[in-house]
Each structure stands twice: as C-alpha cells, then as structure tokens.
Amino acid sequence: MKKLINRPENVVAESLAGLVAAHSDLLTLSQNPLFVAWKDAPVSGKVGIISGGGSGHEPLHVGYVGRGMLDAACPGDVFTSPTPDQIEAATRAVDSGAGVLHVIKNYTGDVMNFELAAELCQAEGIQVETVLVDDDVAVKDSLYTAGRRGVGATVLVEKICGAAAEQGHKLSAVAAIGKEVNQRTRSIGIALTSCTVPAAGKPTFEIGDQEMEFGIGIHGEPGRSRMQIKTARDVVRMMTEEVVRDLPFQSGDSVIALVNGMGGTPLIELYLVFGEMIEVCREKGINVVRPLVGNYITALEMAGCSITLLKADDRLLTLWDAPVHTAGLRWGR
Amino acid sequence: MKKLINRPENVVAESLAGLVAAHSDLLTLSQNPLFVAWKDAPVSGKVGIISGGGSGHEPLHVGYVGRGMLDAACPGDVFTSPTPDQIEAATRAVDSGAGVLHVIKNYTGDVMNFELAAELCQAEGIQVETVLVDDDVAVKDSLYTAGRRGVGATVLVEKICGAAAEQGHKLSAVAAIGKEVNQRTRSIGIALTSCTVPAAGKPTFEIGDQEMEFGIGIHGEPGRSRMQIKTARDVVRMMTEEVVRDLPFQSGDSVIALVNGMGGTPLIELYLVFGEMIEVCREKGINVVRPLVGNYITALEMAGCSITLLKADDRLLTLWDAPVHTAGLRWGR
Amino acid sequence: MKLTIDFFIAWLRSLRQCFSENRDYLTRLDSAIGDADHGINMERGFSAVYEQLEKQSPKTVEELLKLTAMTLIRTVGGASGPLYGTFFLRASAATSGKSELAVEDLVTLFEAGLGGIIQRGKAEPGDKTMVDAWIPAIAAVKACAAQSPGDPAETLQKAAEAAETGMRNTIPLQARKGRASYLGERSVGHQDPGATSTFLMLDAAARVAENS
Amino acid sequence: MKLTIDFFIAWLRSLRQCFSENRDYLTRLDSAIGDADHGINMERGFSAVYEQLEKQSPKTVEELLKLTAMTLIRTVGGASGPLYGTFFLRASAATSGKSELAVEDLVTLFEAGLGGIIQRGKAEPGDKTMVDAWIPAIAAVKACAAQSPGDPAETLQKAAEAAETGMRNTIPLQARKGRASYLGERSVGHQDPGATSTFLMLDAAARVAENS
Ligand SMILES: Nc1ncnc2c1ncn2[C@@H]1O[C@H](COP(=O)(O)OP(=O)(O)O)[C@@H](O)[C@H]1O
Ligand SMILES: Nc1ncnc2c1ncn2[C@@H]1O[C@H](COP(=O)(O)OP(=O)(O)O)[C@@H](O)[C@H]1O
Ligand SMILES: [Mg+2]
Ligand SMILES: [Mg+2]
Ligand SMILES: [Mg+2]
Ligand SMILES: [Mg+2]
C-alpha cells in the first residue's frame, strides 16, 4: 500500500483537519461527534441540507459543504457510513427551524444509520425529510438486492437541492425536487484497478493487466462482471447505452452529464471519455446541455470512471446554474 | 498499461475534442496547427497570454484557458513540447495589438520551440515577451544542469499574469509581474509510483513497494533520490523544509500555497498533506493566506504530490483573488 | 458457571481481542463480496466497548448491554453498527430486572436481539447475512433449554457450533441483502462476513463460559 | 555511388523504418534518464518526412534538406525537434547550389548542421548529448576527406562507426544539458538517447550508401 498518510486509523481525521484549514473561510469542523459544517449555517429561514457517508469519495460530501449546496456533511471512516450521533448533531447544528433534508446514498449501512438519527431528531422536534439516492443501473432494483446504489446522482441532488433551499423553497418542496432529480438520473461505473482501504492495507480485489470491472460502485466492491479491457470508445458506448436504455432517455432529451473519475484516472482520459460519450449521445439525439468532467465522487485511488445523465428541464437547469461556492464545486457569484 | 483511451497516438487529439466539447461556452479548438483558444480572444487592448507544453499535465495548460488566465494554450504530444508553428499560430490568434506573453516552463524542448516561435512572431511584427518558469528546488541551477524545472509556479504565474492582463497592464508590466511571481515561488515534488506514457506502453520507471522518489518533476522522470517511503508527516516536513530554505521564506511571510496532486493521489491524501504542510509553516511563522489543494499540474496517473509556496504581497494577493473562469480554476464573477 | 453480569463483562471484554485477532480475516471476507471493512468496523466497535468498560461500571446486565449497544451504534457505522447495536439494545430490554440468567433467559435475550436485527435490516433466512448464523444458534439454545436445568457453558458451546454451521452454509447462498447483493451471482461461493462475526461472538462467549 | 539527391531521398525515406524499428529502444533509453518519448518523437518526425516526400518532389538537395528541417520542426517537438530541425536547416544552406556532393562537401554539411545544434542547444562536448555522437563522426568524415578522392560509402561507414563510439562514450558521462541533467549523478551509467538517434541516422546513411 502506497499512500501519503500517517496511520491508517487517523486518515479521516487528519484529512478533515487539512480540508477545514484550507477552507477556513467556508467550513468549521465539529470534533465530537465529527461533522463539517458551513460557517454560515444555519441560515435563518433556509432549509438545512446535510449528507454523509463513508470517507474516501472526496470531494463528496465534505467538499460540497458551503453556499448553495450542503449545510453540513458527516464523514464516516473510509467506506463506512457515519453513525447516528454524528448525523443527529449535524442536523441539530444546521436547523434554522425550517427543517433539514437528509440526502442518503442507498447503502444498507447509510440507510440504517440515517434512519436511527432521523428518529432521534424527530423526537427532538426537528423536521427531517429524506432523499434516497439510487441511480446505479448496474444493480437490479429487485426483491433480491438491497436496491440500486447511490452514485453520481448524489452530486446532482446535493447541488440542485442546495440551490432550491437557497431560493427559499420549503422542506417538502426541496425534498420533492431531490427525489425528482434522483428519479431522472441514471449512472454506471467501471474500474481498471482496485482501490486499497488504508486500514485493510491491500487492494480490495485483484485484477489482471488486461481486465476491467464493469458495473462497479464506489467502494472498491467488485462490479457486475469482469471483462477484457476495451478501447475507451467501446467501453463508453457500453456504459452510455446501459444508462440511456434504463430511464430511458430519448431523442430530444436535454441532459446534465457527469463524467466522473474514480480518483486514479487522469483528466486527460476523462475528457477523452467525455468526447466519446457525447458522440453516443449525439447519435441518439440526446443533447448534453450541461457537462461536468472531473473527480466528483471517487473511490480512493481507483482507476476508472462513471457516467451519469440527468434528464433536465428548465427548472432544474436554473437550479443547476445557480451560484455554488464549496471546496469541490464553485461557480457564479 | 491500463488507460481509458483508444489508440495512444490519438490520446491528445481526442482528449482535446472532449475538453472543448465540455467547455464550448469558453473554448475553441484550432486543428492545424493545434491550439486551444479562449472564445473571447483577442480582447481589444488586452495583452494576450499563451502557454504550452507537453500534454499529460491536465488541467495545465489547456484547462487554464479562459477569462482572467490564458488566452490560448498549445498542447504538445504527451510530455513533448509543442512545435513552433502551433505557438506562432496561437500567438497570432490572440494578439490584439497589445502584444503576447509566452509563459514557458524551463525545459530544453519548450524553451527552444518557444524561442523559434518567438523569432517567427517578431518577424511578423508581433510583440512577444517571455516568462521562464523555473521553481523546482530539486534541481540545482548551475552550469551543470539545464537549470531548474518549471513546475507548480506555472499555475500561479498563469493566474496572476492573467489577472494583470485583464486589469489592463501593458505587456512589459505583465511580463515583469510574471517574472516576479516566478522569483518568489519555490516547489518540490515526490512520487510514489511512475506514470505510463501511452505511446511507451509501460511505466517510465520501476519502483518498489516500499520506495518513493524524492525531487521529481512532472514527466515521470526519476527524481533526485530514491528513498524508503515515510509517513506523510515526515515526507511533508522534508518537502516543506527544502522549499522554505531555498528562497528562503521567513517568519512573518505570507504565502500562497499549492498542494498539488500528480494525478493518481486522491483528494483525501492531498488534504492530509495540506494539513501537515500548514503545521510546518506555522512552526516557522509562515502564514498561508491563500491555499489551493488539488490536481493542478499533473504527470498523467502518477501517485505523488508537490508543494509550492509563493511569497505574496498585497498586490499579488489582489491579482490572485481576481475573478477567473477556466475549466480548471474558477472563482469570482 | 453462572450467567451473571461478571460473565457478560468478561465476554464483552474478550471481544476486543477476538476482533483484533480476526480483523484481517473478516476484512478479507468482506473484500470478496463487500467493501473490505467489516473486520475494521468490528475491531473499532469492541475496542470502544472495552474502553467504556474501563471507564464505567454498569450495575446490571441490562445497563451493561445497553452501554454496549450505544457504544456500537456510536462507533461502528456501516451496516453492522446499527444491526449489532439494535441486537444489544433489544437484548438489554429483555434482561430487564434480572441479575442472573438461566438458559431459558438466553433464549429470550437472543430472540429479542435477533428480532431487532430483522426489524432493522429486513433480512430473511437464506439472504446470506448474519441472520443465517443467529437462527441455528438460537435453535440450539432452545434445544438446551428444553432439557432443564440446561448448562450455560454447554449451551453456549452448542450455540457457537450451530452458528458455525450457519456461517458455513452461507457460502453457497446468493446474497439478497446488504452490499453483497450488488454482486448478484458473483456472491455465491463466499462466506458472509457478518455471519462470521456472529459466530466469533458466540464462540468467544462459549470460551469465556468454559473458563469461568 | 554518388551523393546526389537520389541518395539523400533514399536515406531520409529509410529513416522512417529505422526509427520505427528503434522506437522502443530509444524510448527505453529515454525512460532511464528522461521522459520516455525520444523514440516516439523520432518516429513521428521521420514518418512525417516520409509522407512529405510522397507528396512533394524537392528538386535540389538544398530544397530536400529544408523540407526535412521544416517537417521535423513542425512535428517532433521536444528538445530533439528544434535540434535536428536546425541541423537540417543549416545543412540545407550549406548545400546551396550543389547537385552532387563530394566527401569534402559532407564535411561542410555536417559541420554546418552541428553548428546549428550547438548554437540552439549550447551543449559542449562531454555534456552527454547528441553532440557527443556528431563530433567524432565529423572527425571521421574529415579524415576520409583528407585522402582524396574519398569514397562516400566508406566515409559514411566510418562516420557511423565513430558515432557509435561517441554514443557508447556517453554512458559514463554525467549529463549537463537537457532533461537528463536534472538527474545529476544518477544520469551516469546510461547511454544518451539523442546520441543514439544520431548514430542510427548515420548508420542508416551508411547502409543506403552501401546498397546504392
Ligand atoms: N439487511 C441486513 N440484515 C442483516 N444483516 C445484514 C444486512 N445487511 C448487511 N448485513 C450484514 O452486515 C455485514 C457487513 O457489515 P459491514 O461490512 O460492517 O458493513 P457495510 O456493508 O456497511 O460495509 C454483512 O456481511 C451481513 O452479514
Ligand atoms: N541542449 C542540448 N543540446 C544538444 N542536445 C540536447 C540538448 N538537450 C537535449 N539534447 C538531446 O535531446 C535528447 C532528448 O530528446 P527528446 O527526448 O526527444 O526531447 P525531450 O528531452 O524534450 O523529451 C537527449 O538525449 C539529448 O541528446
Ligand atoms: Mg462499509
Ligand atoms: Mg519530451
Ligand atoms: Mg463492509
Ligand atoms: Mg524525451
């Protein structure tokens, strides 16, 4: 294992200390229980938005705390969901009285820990609503699975809900928009290498020099299938077609498209992937009106990428375009 | 070699196509000769700024084309400097009559190709000035070397010169500011893994599981020395001390600090590195007033990082804070 | 031996070492069909429980199990945190007022705990989860309780053996809950990490009982 | 054989295959002390020259060498692009008005070319660059020119042999120019890629001369 760390058990705490030091104009760190909050939260009258999950997906979620996105984020240990006390404390810290939205990626651990926290919060009289993100088409949503994983859509849900809250929508409306974004979004991911959980010390899976994993999540878990590595053109076509077929996206649709790196794939490749993806979309009459290319929801140093499409309309585009100022996403005033 | 590409010889062209498609509001692509230009260039009366160098360092340079930074960038093949015809054409394209600044990283190839281009431009009556970036303290600047390499300072020079040009400074003044930034900046880098040049197909250097390269550049070239891997704390202390000693930075100095990832190191580690670096600075009475943490000047998928410090003053901070809107760096209006 | 608070304290303290020894084993199992953290999660949780027991002195089994529950919920995270946390929370309630447990009380305790796991996680038998270790274990405890007066040490030994069988029987199953379910058919052929940690907990209990 | 335009065309065309065959070899040398692209650069440059020669028909040696120079400058990049480009540009000027070159003219051509390399790159002998292959090669050509009438094929053979020696002699040197100089003492023990491509160019010339 080659990492720029001190001791595996301190990675999360030490990285958060660095993050908050680098963005001291924007962020504060609560130590016990652990969460990162926007300095200006709670904003009077504004719905609070929090999210959380295992660490190792940076900039998600801690990098999305700030104006126009999250009011707080609860980082768990690497790939381990946070605990209810963190979530409860963060919820309390950002509630202005207008209630708090929990954005939860659909993993058994996250769901249960947020559920426990929500029970605690509601007992204290804080209004809590939930958006469950489950956009990964690699997983069948059936009785025989824990449902689809939450992946790339999380970034879009957090950005768009953040803008809606900023515009003064009330909790139920912000939650409804978040659910709508999730319903209109589909993603798929692939990996060329495994990642290494610091405390585990070795790669989560072994993979040959000529192999790739298709349909992976963001935790170094094996994907839906293993196959021979292909050209970017072929890989991206397979990925895009799975995503398009699922919603389905149709000719004439306008989409927000996220080409996301898993952490170890350089930008030169991600832009190449974006170029290939847009070709497939063009063929199908799908119009990419807002592109986002980079490392936005990662799996440590895994090499690979994911593709996320959101079927947009004018309202969602306006919310997307609204100013955002966080460590990981920034535009507008 | 595991990369999301089609054919090694097309990586640069295909990646640029994706970049320009993703940022079509900002960028245009000239095909023959190859360069990326800001849509609004030339801006009447404004000094043009161009840079260029081998590809594989993304977002540098093409990702820094836009408002408040570069007017154009000339990408060479991976790790190979661009050719004079590209540089000449880009210079011509962005000259509003106010002249054009060439920001050049100090590598023999870049220097000679820019030199040839500048001769051609001057023959056409275009005013050209040059800032040579050479901030890498790992290399001795002596008769016995090609001088210091240009690394992290390049990002700072491009940003600050871009702001100066935007504010209406004339060519000689913009060049003088660029040179000043370079003189006040020092950097050093380390690598945990090699990168693989796509056309070469295998890692540039072999490195053991317990080894790191200290004092590397951004081309997968071996560093100044190889050593046992250490904790982030120890590595960052060694790095920061080399940088601080060289200028030297002194107690009471205010600095802009860049903790830069080489492409394969995840953000969770880069923030941890930033946290360690700021500790060392604090000890030495150096005040980090503007931090930047992320992948800004990379070496393909190499794992590792670099640390860059710029001794700032109010004028440089104002230029640093000025709005910038590029694919790779964005803030302000 | 008697199932008093001393036994439960000794058992819970022993789990620190148990999960530190089995950390890599559990994490390796979780690498194959999960996210390579189950051993790390269990070690973190039961180290925290151990530390709590250094600082606090719960007076009753009920308080002790509740402290364990809250500590696990606050430190483990992931799926196993709320599941084992809920197990101990319900187990605590089921021991209310008792200072010594008979073998029949163990049935009540385990059934309450498992009820919590099932309510939280909605897993059914055969879904390839920790539930598949608890069910045969509890059946074994019930069988011992039927031959009164059951011997606690022997009962826990039988429970551990049954859990081990349940654990091994998860190997051919296809996961339908938790992270492993994302793998579909690729989850077949691997032993469930949570069923394994359940076996290890019961096995530790049996060993503490045997030596006390 | 005669050093007419046909010889130079045949030589330059042969360099496409030469550098495609030696691409990985040169890149491997450049990996050790550089950035792993010298073979790729040379292959790209001389493929482009080959293509130009399919499309255009320069009438004189001067035009041919100038076309080669401009093509290399436009396609190679890196350090070697401007250096070899300048070499051919100066070489072109040195052949002005000649339709057949004598061995003495080769001296003029190579010296002009090397002068360009040195002016552009400021390398001195012993800096571990391509200059260290050119200098002994040119000395060998001069020696042949002294015994008039020198035989072109034999001259080029001697030049190639001398370049090879110069190339091997770069191994113990510490680089003082170009990328390899960043390595300081770590550059010792490795053969310079640019000196190697210079040898390969001359070796190809000798072989074309021998077979024509
Ligand atoms: N819904 C569920 N019901 C019961 N047990 C479950 C459920 N989901 C997961 N588990 C158990 O949790 C174990 C994984 O725990 P752990 O690795 O700590 O959490 P995570 O999956 O969040 O990383 C699985 O091996 C399984 O036994
Ligand atoms: N200043 C110089 N003068 C002469 N030759 C040089 C000089 N700098 C570099 N070279 C030659 O160029 C070769 C490297 O070429 P290449 O790898 O194509 O370019 P780059 O170093 O830009 O990647 C070196 O091996 C050396 O022979
Ligand atoms: Mg987990
Ligand atoms: Mg090069
Ligand atoms: Mg797990
Ligand atoms: Mg090279």
Model pLDDT, residue D29: 96
Distances in whole angstroms, Cα of residue D19 to Cα of each of A276, D6, D178, D193, D196: 32, 20, 21, 12, 11
> Which of C27, C40, C81 is nearest residue A113 as measured by Cβ atoms?
C81
Closest CA to ligand 1's atom 15: C80
Query: Are the Cβ atoms of A108 and C121 closer than 8 angstroms?
Result: yes
Question: How many residues comprise chain A?
Answer: 333
Please tell me which chains touch D, using 3 or more CB pairs under 8 Å as the contact test.
Answer: B
Residue A61: which of A280, A326, A253 has the closest Cα? A326
What secondary structure does DSSP assign to C108-150, as a single string?
HHHHHHHHHHHHHH---TTSSSTHHHHHHHHHHHHHHHHSSSP
Q: Which amino acid is at A185?
A: T
Model pLDDT, residue D148: 72
Which of A112, A142, A188, A226 has the highest number of chain C CBs within 10 A, making it the mutation to test binding with C?
Answer: A112
Least Cα separation, residue A149 to chain B (angstroms): 22
Cβ-based contacts of A109 with chain C (< 8 Å): 77-82
- A220 interface with B at CB cutoff 8 Å: no
Closest CA to ligand 2's atom 25: D194
Query: Are the Cβ atoms of A224 and C77 closer than 8 angstroms?
Result: no
Active-site residue (options: A57, A61, A102, A169): A57
Whether cis (ω within 30° of 0) applies to the bond prior to A61 is: yes
Cα(C87) to centroid(ligand 5), Å: 18
Atom of ligand 2 nearest to the CA of D76: 18
The tens place of each residue's pLDDT in chain A, 333 residues long, gives: 899 999 999 999 999 999 999 999 999 999 999 999 999 999 999 999 999 999 999 999 999 999 999 999 999 999 999 999 999 999 999 999 999 999 999 999 999 999 999 999 999 999 999 999 999 999 987 778 889 999 999 999 999 999 999 999 999 999 999 999 999 999 999 999 999 999 999 999 999 999 999 999 999 888 889 999 999 999 999 999 999 999 999 999 999 999 999 999 999 999 999 999 999 999 999 999 999 999 999 999 999 999 999 999 999 999 999 999 999 999 997
Closest CA to ligand 1's atom 22: C78
Model pLDDT, residue A141: 79
D178 alpha carbon, distance to own chain's centre:
17
- DSSP one-letter code for A63: G
Model pLDDT, residue B144: 81
Cα(D179) to centroid(ligand 2), Å: 7
Mean pLDDT (chain C) is: 96
Whether B333 has a pLDDT exceeding 80, the answer reads no
Helix (H, G, I), strand (E, B) or coil at A321: helix
- Strand runs labelled E in A138-247: 185-191, 211-214, 225-228
Query: Are the Cβ atoms of C179 and A221 closer than 8 angstroms?
Result: yes
D–C touching, 3+ CB–CB pairs within 8 Å: no
Q: A231 φ, ψ to 5°?
A: -65, 155
Which of A190, A272, A298, A320 has the highest number of chain B CBs within 10 A, making it the mutation to test binding with B?
Answer: A272
Residue ranges and CATH numbers for the domains of chain B are 12-184 (3.40.50.10440), 185-311 (3.30.1180.20)
- Indicate which ligand has the atom closest to the C-alpha of A113: 1
Q: Which two tokens stand for residue B312?
A: 């700032």
* Residues paired with residue B186 on neighbouring β-strands, in sequence order: B309
Percentage of chain B beyond pLDDT 70 is 100
Find out whether A255 and A292 touch, Cβ atoms under 8 Å.
Answer: no
Q: Which two tokens stand for residue B87?
A: 């540089």
Active-site residue (options: A23, A102, A169, A219): A219
> Buried (b) or exposed (e) across A91-125, using 16+ Cβ within 10 A?
bbbbbeebbbbbbbbbbbbbbbbbbbbbebbeeee
Q: Which amino acid is at D17?
A: Q
- B265 interface with A at CB cutoff 8 Å: yes
Q: Which two tokens stand for residue C164?
A: 């081990």
Find out whether B161 and B177 touch, Cβ atoms under 8 Å.
Answer: yes
Any idea what the CATH number is for the domain that residue D7 is in? 1.25.40.340
Helix (H) or strand (E) run with residue D206 in it: helix D193-210
Whether B131 has a pLDDT exceeding 80, the answer reads yes
Least Cα separation, residue B111 to chain D (angstroms): 8
> Which of C37, C83, C178 is nearest residue A146 as measured by Cβ atoms?
C178
Cβ-based contacts of C176 with chain A (< 8 Å): 143-145
- DSSP one-letter code for A151: -
- Strand runs labelled E in A168-313: 185-191, 211-214, 225-228, 254-261, 287-294, 304-311
Model pLDDT, residue A285: 98
Q: Give the chain B residue whose CA is nearest to the CA of A21.
A: B275
Domain residues for D147? Answer: 3-210
Model pLDDT, residue A60: 98
Q: How far apart are CA B229 and CA A181, in angstroms?
A: 45
Q: How far apart are CA A178 and CA A155, in angstroms?
A: 11
- DSSP one-letter code for B263: B
- Indicate which ligand has the atom closest to the C-alpha of A204: 5
Cβ-based contacts of D37 with chain B (< 8 Å): 77-80, 197, 199-200
At B244-289, the pLDDT tens digits run: 999 999 999 999 999 999 999 999 999 999 999 999 999 999 999 9
B142 pLDDT band (50/70/90 cuts)? confident
> Which of B85, B143, B149 is nearest residue D74 as measured by Cβ atoms?
B85
Q: How far apart are CA A17 and CA B317, in angstroms?
A: 24
Find out whether B12 and B52 touch, Cβ atoms under 8 Å.
Answer: no
Least Cα separation, residue B86 to chain A (angstroms): 20
Q: How far apart are CA B27 and CA B255, in angstroms?
A: 31
Query: Are the Cβ atoms of D41 and B80 closer than 8 angstroms?
Result: yes
Q: Which amino acid is at C14?
A: S
Prediction pTM value? 0.95
Find out whether the beta carbon of D80 lies less than 6 Å from any atom of ligand 2.
Answer: yes
Model pLDDT, residue D93: 95
Model pLDDT, residue C153: 95
Cα(A8) to centroid(ligand 3), Å: 15
Handedness of CA D133, D137, D138, D140 (dihedral sign): positive
Query: Are the Cβ atoms of D36 and B79 closer than 8 angstroms?
Result: yes
> Which of B76, B221, B225 is nearest residue D77 as measured by Cβ atoms?
B76
Atom of ligand 2 nearest to the CA of B109: 22
Closest CA to ligand 2's atom 8: D178
The tens place of each residue's pLDDT in chain D, 212 residues long, gives: 899 999 999 999 999 999 999 999 999 999 999 999 999 999 999 999 999 999 999 999 999 999 999 999 999 999 999 999 999 999 999 999 999 999 999 999 999 999 999 999 999 999 999 999 999 999 999 999 998 778 999 999 999 999 999 999 999 999 999 999 998 899 999 999 999 999 999 999 999 999 98
Model pLDDT, residue A189: 98
Handedness of CA A243, A248, A252, A254 (dihedral sign): negative
Least Cα separation, residue A152 to chain B (angstroms): 17
Cβ-based contacts of A19 with chain B (< 8 Å): 271, 274-275, 293
**Residues A114, C134, C41, CA angle at the centre, nearest 5°?**
45
Helix (H, G, I), strand (E, B) or coil at B90: helix
State ipTM: 0.93
For the beta sheet containing A330-331, the strands, ordered from the edge strand earlier in sequence to the opposite edge, are: A66-67, A324-326, A330-331
Cα(A50) to centroid(ligand 3), Å: 20
Q: Which two tokens stand for residue D78?
A: 């890196």
Helix (H, G, I), strand (E, B) or coil at D179: helix
Q: Which amino acid is at D65?
A: L
Cα(A17) to centroid(ligand 5), Å: 25
> Which of B76, B145, B219 is nearest residue D181 as measured by Cβ atoms?
B145
Whether cis (ω within 30° of 0) applies to the bond prior to B61 is: yes
Active site residue A219: yes
| Number of domains chain D is built from | 1
- Protein residues whose CB sits closer than 6 Å to any atom of ligand 1: A 81, 108-109; C 30, 34-35, 37-38, 41, 78-80, 83, 117, 121-123, 129-131, 177-179, 192-195
Cβ-based contacts of B330 with chain A (< 8 Å): 330-331
